[in-house]
Amino acid sequence: MAKHKGRAWHSRLLAAALGVTALAAATSVWTAQAGTADGKQSPAPISSPSASHHDDDRPATEKVAEDIAHASDQGARGVNITIDDGPDPTWTPQVLQLLKDKGVKATFCMVGTQAQAYPNLVKDVVAAGHRLCNHTVSHDVTMDKKSEAYQTKEILDAERMITKASGGVRPQYYRAPGGAFTPFSRKLAASHGMRPLGWNVDTKDFEHPGVDAIVATVKSEISNGPTVLFHDAGGERSQTLAALGQVLPWLREQGYSFGFPVR
């Protein structure tokens, strides 16, 4: 995704990760990041995810496409609202209430340690009819530079954490932190029923550019494609809430409908 800032957020996330003994790989730093709308793709070779020690006896999941999704299931005039980095006890409930008030469903890309820390919020997201997306265990934006074993652990451990927190609902998408996709990570996620998910409009709400700037970005860039990126964690999100309150009715006025990314 885009650059996240705030050392306090990094400290909380790292502390959560270190408290889970199974997550030795989650020691990577929550660092400043840069991404593109399509996500970075490493030329690293693809090896078979079936060789991973993370395979277990769970029922086989639906296989989905490996390429990075952007389109909406609502067609050419559809918009996908995506909310990253939570759940957060302060901001996620407020985002959920706003979405309910506006009659909009969204896709929540959750960090594994956050889902584990706030399972009731994960259940609230599911109960409200939104979809879940795997955003890895520790939000390491340098994943595309790490080993396949590391990528596997980050993705599949997060899948387990989110699924457990939700009460058994699996994430339907995988969004690489900072767009740090690799051919291997896309193949692995797809083999577990998680469609790789990109974005077309980066609101840069994490930078606190001001409500007017966030709204203007959506209005000027929605012609680039339907998937819009917001955040409900990683810092103070009052600007995000205010901007969503303006953007959602504006999109409806322009003839857009709200849906989910294609799978």
Helix, strand or coil, per DSSP, at residue 88: coil
User: Is residue 231 among the annotated active site residues?
Assistant: yes
Residue 167 and residue 126 in contact, taking contact as beta carbons nearer than 8 Å: yes
H/E stretch holding 241 reads: helix 238-253
Q: Which of 259, 250, 255 is nearest to 216 (CA)?
A: 250
Q: Which of 204, 206, 185, 205 is nearest to 195 (CA)?
A: 185
How many Å apart are CA 38 and CA 46, to the nearest integer?
19
H/E stretch holding 109 reads: strand 107-110
Residue of 84, 88, 140, 232 marked catalytic: 84
Helix, strand or coil, per DSSP, at residue 71: coil
User: Is residue 55 among the annotated active site residues?
Assistant: no
Instruction: Output the CA torsion 99→105→106→112 (10° steps).
Output: 90
Q: Which of 100, 115, 103 is nearest to 13 (CA)?
A: 115
Question: 196: cis peptide before it, omega within 30°?
Answer: no
Catalytic residues: 84, 231
